[in-house]
Structure formats: structure tokens, C-alpha cells
Structure 1
Amino acid sequence: MTTYSKEFKDQALKLSDEIGLKKASDQLGVKYSTLSGWRRNRSKKSINVVQKDTTPMTDRELKMQKEIQELKQANEILKDALGFFAKDRKK
């Protein structure tokens, strides 16, 4: 099992945000599933940071936070699909 430094992961995530998950995994030689997992974990950590606020979140705020997370995941899927179809059209 290969271990990656935090700096490498951060740069890989930044690259995947810019050019898409598939292209970044190909360029870096990292498995698609590994990079995808890093992105998922990053999203979960960002929600945890918001929830650690000293003031309790209302039910509405919790619901909105969950919706934001779902939309972020949908955007990741759409980015991947865009890369896939753009690659397919170039042939």
C-alpha cells in the first residue's frame, strides 16, 4: 500500500478541482478511487469544522448544510462526467 504525504494529497486535490478527478488521477498515477476518497474525506472534514462552532446549529441550518454537501457531491459527479464525455468527443 502506498502512502502519500499531506502536501501531495493537498496538491492532488487542488489539481483534481482544476482539471477533474479522472485527468488528475491519470496525470499523478494515483488510483481514481483513492483520489475520490480524498475528496470525499475533505468534504466531510469541512462540514465537521462548521459544526464545531460554539453556537448550536438550528435544524434549518443543519438541513441546509446537508443540502450543500449533497450539491457538492453532485458537482463532483458532473465534473467527472464532463471530463468523460469531452474525452469521448475528441476521438
Structure 2
Amino acid sequence: MEVKMVQKKVYDQEFKVQAVKLGREIGFSKAAKELGINVDTLYGWSKAVREGRLDLGPGTHTPETAMSLTEEVQKLRQRNRSLEKENARLKEENEFLAEASAFFAASRRKSPKV
């Protein structure tokens, strides 16, 4: 039995940007077909643009797609709160692991060697 290894294609930032721009101009299905990529991949990049994870560069936002300064500040504050929560959780986990490590190290020194 032959096992085929599927290699995941990696696209650079510029390719993704140009692909999304093309998709917006001629339609995502047609652009994906022309570029030889899966349409779902192209939709994923488009979603990344909407979420602010992929920047199309200056002059690409319309008044409808651009965030207001207030919206951007709110989004950044929300992200900051989320990161602060995650940071606090990770600190607690690190404290627990340090205490557990010390406990097991101490119990190991006390136990008789066999």
C-alpha cells in the first residue's frame, strides 16, 4: 500500500493580498479558479482582512469597511482585556506548576531509595 504525503502550500503575504483584491474585483470563485487555489482558502483570507489579521495596504478600505476610531479603540481594549485574562491564567498555572514541582522534588528527597 502506498501512502501519499500531502504537502500544505504556503502562500506569502503579498500573494494573499493580491488574491483578495482580485477576488473583490472579479468575484472570489473566478479569482480562485484563475489563481489555482481553493475558493475556501480565498474566503478565509478575505475573512482575515475583515478581522484585521491581513492588511491590504493603504487606500483599500471604503467608508463601509473602514472602522471608526472609536470602533478600533473598542476592539483594541477588548483584545487587551482578553490578553490580560490569559496572562493572569498563565501566571496562575505557572505558580501551580512551580509548587507542584517543589512538592514532588521534596517528596522524592524524603522517599527511601530502592
1:27, CA displacement in angstroms?
0.1
Identity level (%): 36
Q: How many aligned positions are there?
A: 53
Instruction: Give the Cα–Cα distance (whole angstroms) in 2 for the partners of residues 5 and 29 of structure 1.
Output: 15
**What CA deviation, in whole Å up to 9, does each residue of 1:5-26 have, x standing for no partner?**
1110111011001000000000
Q: Report the equivalent of 1:25.
A: 32
In the TM superposition, structure 1's runs of 4+ consecutive aligned residues that sit over 2 Å from their partners are none
1:5 aligns with 2:26: no
Give the deviation of 1:29 after TM superposition.
0.4
CA-CA distance at 1:51 after TM superposition = 1.6
**3-state SS of paired residue (1:52):** helix
5+ residue gaps, structure 1:
57-91
Does the alignment pair 1:44 with 2:44? no
Structure 2, unmatched stretches of 5+, are 1-7, 53-65, 78-114
State the match for 2:41 in structure 1: 34
- Structure number with the higher helix fraction is 1
Task: Report the Cα distance in structure 1 between the residues aligned to 2:73 and 2:11, rounded to whole angstroms.
Answer: 28
Mapped to 2, the partners of 1:44 and 1:17 lie a distance apart of 16
What's the CA shift for 1:52? Answer: 3.2
> TM-score, normalised on structure 2?
0.42
Amino acid at match of 2:32: S
Q: Flag the structure with larger Rg.
A: 2
> Helix, strand or coil: the match of 1:22?
helix
Alignment of 1:47-66 (within 5 A): 50-52=71-73
